[in-house]
Amino acid sequence: MQVNGAWQPTIVAFCCNWCSYAGADLTGTNRLAYPANVKIIRIPCSCRLNPLFILRAFGRGADGVILCGCHPGDCHYTTGNYYARRRMTLLFSMLDFLGIERERTRVEWVSAAEGAKFAAVMNDFVRQITVLGENKRLEDFRCK
């Protein structure tokens, strides 16, 4: 995304409703800052994340995608984050195949009490994506 002529990374964060979305809310309540590049999409559970959503985001010009869910063992739906973890592992090898840098996708476990961790993770992820630069691999140039 171009802001005032300078490139700024676009980052999509999928957050599960029970832990990480609440953790992100806590970050706000504690007024801990992270870059505005991060846009959060609420999903009921990390297992709701279809890997296609990540490919879609990269296809539409996202520079980084992060999935945040409850810590393993703490899933509101008992086992959802285990499914998410397994699916993401498979997706990582597919992203390797597509040539999308491994560092553009990340999975983090953030509980509803970890506001500080959420901010730290987002600061770190934005820094990492900024260093990587623009993601052009999956962009559909025909639509431009």
Residues 42-61 that bind another protein (CB under 8 A): 42-45, 47-53, 56-57, 60-61
Per CB under 8 A, the list member of 19, 22, 66, 129 interacting with another protein is 22
| Least gap, CB of 63 to another protein (angstroms) | 9
Which residues have CB under 8 Å from 49's CB, separation 6+?
14, 43, 67, 84, 87
The answer to whether residue 87 forms part of the interface with another protein (CB under 8 A) is: yes
The answer to whether residue 29 forms part of the interface with another protein (CB under 8 A) is: yes
Which residues of the chain form contacts with another protein (CB under 8 A)?
A: 3, 10, 12, 21-22, 24-29, 31-36, 39-45, 47-53, 56-57, 60-62, 73, 75-80, 83, 87, 119
